[in-house]
Chain A
Amino acid sequence: MIVSLGAIGFGLVWGWLLGLYDVRPDKLPATIVSLSGASVLGAGATAWLGGLSAAAPFSVAALVALFVHSQWRSELRKRYRNSTNP
C-alpha cells in the first residue's frame, strides 16, 4: 500500500515537471520522443524500485499531473496573454 502511494507521489512530481516543458512546434517530434522515453525510463525505474505493480499508479498519476498542470498553464496564458505589467 505504501509502495503504491509512493509510486503515485513520484508520478505526480514527474508529471508536474513535464508540464513545465514548453514544446516548440519545430522540435515537436524530437521533444515528444525524448519526453516519452524519459517517462518510460521513470516508469521502469519505479517498477524496478517498487515492483511491477507500482508502474501503473506512477503512470496514471504522471498523466493526471501533466494534464492538470498543462491545463492550468494554458488557462493562465489565455488570461494574461495581452496584459501588461501592473
Chain B
Amino acid sequence: MLQGSAQPAMEAAKTIQLVGAGAFGAVVGWYVYYINRWRKDDVQLSDIVTLLGAIGGAAVLALFPAKSDLFGAYGVGLAAGFFAYFFILVVLVNKAPGFTSAWFLDGRAPKLKDGEINTAGHAMAQPDETES
C-alpha cells in the first residue's frame, strides 16, 4: 500500500524534472539565438566553439547526468527555444515595414527617416527632442 502510494509521487517528480530540464534548455536556446543575433562582427570560429561550450558545457553536465532522460529533455528544449526565436524573428521581419528577408544576410534595414537616428538597436529619439 505504502509502496503503491509512493510510486505516483516518483513519477510526478520525474515528469516535473523533465519539464524543468526542457524549460531550462528552451531558455538557453532562446539566449543562444539572441547572442548570435546581436553579435557585432562576422561569425568567428571562436564564437561557434564558445557556443558549443555554452550549449553542452560543464555547467549543463553538472545539472543533468550523462545518458539520462534529463539530458535528452534539455536537448529538446534547447532546439525548441532556439528555433522559436528564429521563427518569431522571421514573422516580425516580414511584417515590419521596409524590412525584407535580406536582413538575415547582413542586417539590411530601411533608410532612416528625418528625425530618426541609429542607436544600435535601442530606442530611437533625437537628442534635441528631449532638450527644451
In the bound complex, what is the Cα–Cα distance between A20 and B52 (angstroms)?
14
Q: Could you tell me which residues of chain B, from 51 to 107, have a CB within 8 Å of some CB in chain A? A: 51-52, 55-56, 61, 66-69, 71-80, 82-83, 86, 98, 100-102, 104-105
Main secondary structure of the interface of B (DSSP, over half): helix
Q: How large is the interface on B (under 10, 10 to 19, 20 to 34, 35 or more residues)?
A: 35 or more
Contact status A21-B72, CB under 8 Å: no
- The answer, among B48, B72, B108, B109, for a CB contact under 8 Å with A6, is B72
Q: How many contacting A-B pairs (Cβ < 8 A)?
A: 114
Q: Does A31 contact B (CB under 8 A)?
A: yes
- The answer, among A1, A10, A86, for a CB contact under 8 Å with B100, is A86
In the bound complex, what is the Cα–Cα distance between A86 and B108 (angstroms)?
10
Given contacts A4-B72, A38-B49, A42-B52, contact A9 B79 (CB under 8 A): yes
Contact status A13-B82, CB under 8 Å: yes
Q: List 13 A-B contacts (CB under 8 A).
A: A2-B72, A3-B72, A6-B71, A6-B74, A7-B75, A10-B75, A16-B86, A17-B48, A38-B45, A42-B52, A42-B56, A48-B66, A80-B108
Residue positions of A touching B, CB distance < 8 A: 1-10, 12-14, 16-18, 20-22, 31, 34-35, 38, 41-42, 45-46, 48-51, 73, 76-77, 79-80, 83, 85-86
Residue positions of B touching A, CB distance < 8 A: 18, 25, 29, 32, 36, 42-43, 45, 48-49, 51-52, 55-56, 61, 66-69, 71-80, 82-83, 86, 98, 100-102, 104-105, 108-111
Beyond contacts A38-B48, A50-B72, A80-B100: 7 other A-B pairs, Cβ-Cβ < 8 A, are A4-B72, A9-B80, A10-B55, A10-B56, A49-B61, A49-B66, A86-B98
